[in-house]
Amino acid sequence: MSDPAALPDKAFFRIGEVAELVGVEPHVLRYWETEFRALRPKKTRGGHRHYARRDVEIAMRIRQLVHDQGFTIAGAKRRLKELREHRRGDAPAPAAVRELAYRTELLRLREELGAFLDELDAEDFGESEPKTVRVERVVQSARPPADR
């Protein structure tokens, strides 16, 4: 389960439940607790961990970053920090701004290419007159800046 909205309606979860929801073993959750300050479940008098809903959502996000997107632990820490700063209203990290700019540019290019393909399909079926299409050089605008 990777959708935080699909969590059972409970205030606290045991480590076994969280492990099952997140899709990792309990020892992985205990390791993540040592690495990520944001993941801090409450402990009962008997030492059992009780994860709040927020902790489960954070664990799901960590799993997504590490297992699905291939981040290292250090990279996942940085990414979570960037996301936290962005949520607080601080100035977003430069990497996040750069990523958003690339994503926006790629979406614009996707729309342009889709329109171009639609025109080609229309020409193949004789629906319209052939049009002259000017193709811009987009390779330079899609490359990351040299400051890396």
SS3 43: strand
Asked whether residue 63 is domain-assigned, the answer is yes
Task: State which amino acid sits at residue 68.
Answer: D
* Residues 76, 17 within the same domain: yes
C-beta separation of 64 from 57 below 8 A: no
**Residues 16, 52: one domain?**
yes
pLDDT in tens, 45-88: 999 999 999 999 999 999 999 998 888 999 999 988 888 765 55
Domains identified in the chain, total number: 2
For the stretch 23-39, pLDDT in tens is 999 999 999 999 998 89
SS3 49: strand
More confident residue, 109 or 129: 109
Identify the DSSP state of 38.
Answer: T
Note down the domain range covering 41: 4-88
* Judgement on whether residues 79 and 133 belong to the same structural domain of the protein: no
| Residue 68 counted as domain residue | yes
pTM: 0.56
Tell me the CATH number at 70. Answer: 1.10.1660.10
Q: Write down which residue in 65, 88, 111 finishes a domain.
A: 88
Which of 72, 62, 81 minimizes the C-alpha distance to 2?
62
Average pLDDT along the chain: 80
